Chains A and B, each alone.
Chain A
Amino acid sequence: MGEVMQDARLAAMLLEHEVRDFLHTEAELLDERRFEEWLELFTDDVRYWMPIARNVRFNQMAMEYTREGQDTCWFDEGKETLRQRVEQLRTGIHWAEEPRSRTSHLLTNIRVASALPIAARAEEVEVRSRFLLYRNRIHDETDILAGKRTDRLRREAGGWRIARREIRLDQSVLLAKNLTSFL
């Protein structure tokens, strides 16, 4: 009994370690501008969604974020539009990123919220984390975007792939002139 418990905890730790390593690698690809390799980390049916936060009264918190599949948002992407964005970055005339931004994606509070079917043989996991994107370009143009991410990772062809990413930015008015960095 004790050994089974210990095995389960060990499996959960190993899983969390594996997932964290995967997300750190992903952030590294972005910061090194290896966008094509980054794109390969997503499943073909990925949904990349970033709702807009609103200021609402305490009794109307259900309205705090715009609704998925219905309202406006910052991003509602599939693999094809993510690919188009990468392609646009590679044209050399996407002025918002020409010259290129310097970015550092800092990830923390990474936690596996659920694993299916079980941690020891996980095929799909939900991961929560916090991000802080530092972006600097040209001279003094600096954006700091912080928020919460919920990712659903799926094991495909032996490796983890991102099947869903939900990004909740801690800003209602976006304090950056554009969103040309991936989160």
Chain B
Amino acid sequence: MMDGLVDLRTGTVSREVFVSEEVFRQEQERIFGRAWLFIGHEDMVKEPDDYFVSRMGTESVVLTRDRQGKINVLLNSCMHRGMKVCRADQGNARVFTCPYHGWSYSTDGRLVDRPGELVGVPGFSSHYRSELDKKSWGLVHCPRVVNYRGTIWASWDENAPDFEEYIGDFAYYLGAALDHRDGREGGSEMIGGVQKWRVKCNWKFAAENFIGDLYHDISHRSVDLVGIGPSGGKGRRDRQRGRTTVGFPDLGHGGLAELPHRAEPDYVATYRNHPEVEEYYRQVHEARVRNLGDRLRVTTGTGTIFPNMSFHGRQPRTIAVFHPISPTEMEMWRIFLVDRDAPQAVKDVARHYYLRYSGPGGMTESDDMENWVYATEASTGVVARRYPYNYQMGMGHSQPIPELRGGYDGGEYSEQNARIFYGRWAQFMEGRDWNALMAPARAAVAEPAHG
């Protein structure tokens, strides 16, 4: 049934992809059961025994830092009867004790097994006659976990390629969001707390929106009229240098961003109303010039890591995750980032801007959700489902980006990146193995020559 849902030759995608129960069920197995997924930020688990409850597709998982300092991603379900062992959102705990029968797990996932400590399995010696093999009944560990510049990612598939290989040269763009503005790797920190909210739309609407859709500007015309830019300027952002659609057909990632370059553009003073903030960004710019030298660099507007993590790289600077709940519902999460060592005044100005831009109360994003919800609703009918969505903008006009392995420039207004996303989606849904998934040379298929 998955055949022909995505047609890159004609640039169309079936509406079944967005509303079908069967498609949704298979996505859980074939995409969320295999791909690298965003779990959280290391700032959520700074101390031993810190935990944060996250999601991988429809599964609940617990991100922990165990007493050895190691980061784990554990399935949040007791091995005895399946009860959710952690129902708090975050905190610090020596053990997760299941409220059903009392099996207790330490933050490394093992059933507690040390003499004199809390009982890992009540009645172990009496009811179980010491015959239970506690070591093999710890919480399920996600086998692949990585800390990438402060962000934690995991995959259920032991055979998945390394995360760096999975993101390829799109790392420049993700890095631009996660690094310090002065160019230091992973130099950002997470502002405390996560916005979480339910949206009755298919999760892919959000992933597709962030991968590079400048065309949806009309969605945000009202906020552009009002003007909420970070420095108090017009529009919803300060003026940005030439953005284009940068995508990776072999990997499924992409963004609306700058082409890579080696010289840092001149500094433009923007925060005239906030002298301290202005001074900070000016100094950061000078440090960036020193730190990066003539190394390749980019700035990102927005981007998506296949399948369901997106980010704003500059204004604002955020991480968004789209957790699938059902074909027609997702839970969206939003995390805000700032330079870790920035003065409080700089962090405050950034936070206020992020909040008036992003999230369900954001003056920009509140309008996105309206579109995704009613596009989903209007696509559920049996008649509506007969007609595919049109992704033809800019087909055949992509150009390779010489500095980036497998990178293509679709131009400022293009649906190249959406085609790349759904091309990748179809590959995963076909159930290809990792050798086939990571083999280069899809580009010709994704972007057939014009005419």
- The answer to whether A72 and B191 have CB atoms under 8 Å apart is yes
Over the window 141-183 of chain A, the binary record of Cβ atoms lying under 8 Å from chain B Cβ atoms (1 yes, 0 no) is 1000000000000000000000000000000111111111000
Q: Which one of A12-20, A25-33, A63-71, A111-119 is at the B interface?
A: A63-71
Known: A56-B89, A96-B369, A179-B360. Contact between A76 and B226, CB under 8 A?
no
Known: A57-B91, A84-B228, A178-B360. Contact between A72 and B222, CB under 8 A?
no
Residues of A contacting B195 with CB < 8 Å? 52, 72, 74, 174
* Chain A residues touching B, majority SS: loop
Nearest CB of chain A from residue B324's CB, rounded to whole Å: 15
- The answer to whether A75 and B226 have CB atoms under 8 Å apart is no
Interface residues in B58-94 (C-beta closer than 8 Å to A): 87-93
Task: Provide the bound-state CA to CA distance between A141 and B376, in Å.
Answer: 13
Task: Provide the bound-state CA to CA distance between A54 and B86, in Å.
Answer: 13
Interface size on A, residues (CB 8 A): 40
Interface residues in B35-49 (C-beta closer than 8 Å to A): none
- The answer to whether B361 and A74 have CB atoms under 8 Å apart is yes
Residues of B contacting A179 with CB < 8 Å? 360-361, 366
Most buried by A among B193, B334, B369, B374: B193
Task: Provide the bound-state CA to CA distance between A173 and B92, in Å.
Answer: 21
Nearest CB of chain A from residue B189's CB, rounded to whole Å: 12
- The answer to whether B88 and A177 have CB atoms under 8 Å apart is no
Interface residues in B206-247 (C-beta closer than 8 Å to A): 218-219, 221-223, 225-228
Q: Across the two chains, which residue of chain B brings its CB closest to A78?
A: B352
Task: Provide the bound-state CA to CA distance between A174 and B195, in Å.
Answer: 8
Q: Taking the complex as formed, is B23 at the interface, i.e. its CB lies under 8 A from any CB of chain A? A: no
Q: Across the two chains, which residue of chain A brings its CB closest to B201?
A: A177
Q: Taking the complex as formed, is B336 at the interface, i.e. its CB lies under 8 A from any CB of chain A? A: yes
Known: A66-B193, A173-B198. Contact between A91 and B225, CB under 8 A?
yes
Task: Provide the bound-state CA to CA distance between A85 and B366, in Å.
Answer: 11
Known: A85-B363, A88-B363. Contact between A178 and B191, CB under 8 A?
no
Residues of A contacting B365 with CB < 8 Å? 178
- The answer to whether A177 and B93 have CB atoms under 8 Å apart is no
- The answer to whether A81 and B192 have CB atoms under 8 Å apart is no
- The answer to whether B91 and A76 have CB atoms under 8 Å apart is no
- The answer to whether B226 and A87 have CB atoms under 8 Å apart is yes
Q: Taking the complex as formed, is B355 at the interface, i.e. its CB lies under 8 A from any CB of chain A? A: yes
Q: Across the two chains, which residue of chain A brings its CB closest to B92?
A: A60
- The answer to whether A71 and B192 have CB atoms under 8 Å apart is yes
Residues of B contacting A175 with CB < 8 Å? 197-198
Q: Taking the complex as formed, is B30 at the interface, i.e. its CB lies under 8 A from any CB of chain A? A: no
- The answer to whether A84 and B361 have CB atoms under 8 Å apart is no
Query: Which of the residues B226, B227, B370 comes within 8 Å of A95, measured between beta carbons?
Result: B370
- The answer to whether B370 and A178 have CB atoms under 8 Å apart is yes
Q: Taking the complex as formed, is B196 at the interface, i.e. its CB lies under 8 A from any CB of chain A? A: yes
Nearest CB of chain B from residue A94's CB, rounded to whole Å: 4
- The answer to whether A95 and B91 have CB atoms under 8 Å apart is no
Nearest CB of chain B from residue A3's CB, rounded to whole Å: 50
- The answer to whether B219 and A57 have CB atoms under 8 Å apart is no
Nearest CB of chain B from residue A69's CB, rounded to whole Å: 7
Nearest CB of chain A from residue B225's CB, rounded to whole Å: 5
- The answer to whether B370 and A63 have CB atoms under 8 Å apart is no
Binding site for A on B (CB under 8 A): 87-93, 191-201, 218-219, 221-223, 225-228, 331, 334-336, 348, 351-352, 354-356, 359-361, 363, 365-367, 369-371, 373-374
7 tightest Cβ-Cβ pairs between the two chains A and B: A71-B192, A174-B197, A66-B193, A178-B366, A72-B193, A179-B361, A94-B222
Q: Could you give 9 example pairs across A and B, Cβ below 8 Å?
A: A50-B361, A56-B89, A69-B348, A72-B193, A72-B354, A85-B363, A91-B226, A94-B223, A96-B366
